[in-house]
């Protein structure tokens, strides 16, 4: 009887132990899918570094796009537009074998939307991370102007020629990455440069036949000081998007909680 009881206990332990392991190891999820990651305004490819490493460890292929006029790219701001950004991201999408998971943060929500409109059959799913999700005919500026709770607007400093937008430097950390480590915050300041303004005013042209047929998911950033959670939810509702997730993060979860964000990206891509 004692032997039988011991065997039963060991069996139960193995079964429940295996079940628990499956639930607590999201980053051990394996995938062979391709993720195309697009940074937002006042950012650059460095922001995706930790997420990229984790996705690759899971077996994914990862393409990180550097938007023109950002990072090391020196395209003049007067030569930039939403269409220029779209073409850059479309090149990355089309360079991949098969369909991609296209991920956009902040401004890049506008970009991935128009890329999907132009080439819906190349995209398996769009994932918006604390991002602008436009309806047809909307610009980023039009959406942002409705966001009374955003801390970004009052801190913007347009250049004399209106071609770039600076942010009051004393407010950058609180607005973008208050929950990141001091080292990460220093990295943000080191890589910071004013943002090209023209793309903010360009409207997204979207149709039900193209953009409408692409699967979409939205990751809410609950402590966001750039796009308030209220406006995030309004955009999601206006687009009839039902697949949503949340991170208790600032505007930049790829900086403050990259493993949690990676786990969600892998879950959404399954």
Domain ranges of the chain: 32-269
Class of domain 32-269: alpha beta
pLDDT in tens, 55-113: 999 999 999 999 999 999 999 999 999 999 999 999 999 999 999 999 999 999 999 99
Do residues 51 and 263 touch, judged by C-beta distance below 8 A? Answer: no
Please state, in angstroms and rounded to a whole number, the distance separating the CA atoms of residues 133 and 111.
9
HSE-up of residue 93 (Cα within 13 Å, Cβ side): 29
pLDDT 10s digits, 10-38:
333 333 333 333 333 345 678 899 999 99
| CA 156/CA 160 separation, integer angstroms | 13
The fraction of the chain above a pLDDT of 90, given in percent, is 88
User: Which helix (H) or strand (E) element contains residue 118?
Assistant: helix 108-118
- Whole-structure pTM over 0.85, yes or no? yes
Please check whether residue 242 is in contact with residue 268, taking contact to mean a CB–CB distance below 8 angstroms. Answer: no
With b for 16 or more beta-carbon neighbours within 10 A and e for fewer, the 18-54 pattern comes to eeeeeeeeeeebebebbbbbbbbbbbbbbbbebbbeb
């Amino acid at each position: 009887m004692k032997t039988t009881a011991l065997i039963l206990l060991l069996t139960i332990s193995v079964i429940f132990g295996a079940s628990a392991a499956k639930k607590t190891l999201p980053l051990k999820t394996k995938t062979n899918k391709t993720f195309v990651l697009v940074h937002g305004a006042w950012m650059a490819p460095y922001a995706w570094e930790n997420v990229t490493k984790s996705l690759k460890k899971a077996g994914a292929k990862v393409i990180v796009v550097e938007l023109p006029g950002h990072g090391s790219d020196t395209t003049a701001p007067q030569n930039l537009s939403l269409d220029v950004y779209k073409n850059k991201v479309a090149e990355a999408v089309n360079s991949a074998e098969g369909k991609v998971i296209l991920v956009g943060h902040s401004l890049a929500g506008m970009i991935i939307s128009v890329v999907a409109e132009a080439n819906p059959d190349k995209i398996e799913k769009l994932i918006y991370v604390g991002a602008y999700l436009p309806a047809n005919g909307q610009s980023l500026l039009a959406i942002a102007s409705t966001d009374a709770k955003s801390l970004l607007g009052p801190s913007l400093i347009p250049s004399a020629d209106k071609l770039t937008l600076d942010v009051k430097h004393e407010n950058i950390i609180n607005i973008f990455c208050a929950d990141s480590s001091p080292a990460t915050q220093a990295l943000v300041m080191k890589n910071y440069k004013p943002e090209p303004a023209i793309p903010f005013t360009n409207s997204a042209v979207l149709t039900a036949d193209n953009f409408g047929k692409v699967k979409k998911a939205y990751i809410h950033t609950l402590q966001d000081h750039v796009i308030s959670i209220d406006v995030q939810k309004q955009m999601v509702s206006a687009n009839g998007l039902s697949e949503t997730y949340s991170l208790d993060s600032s505007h930049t979860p790829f900086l403050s909680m990259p493993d949690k964000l990676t786990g969600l990206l892998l879950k959404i891509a399954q």
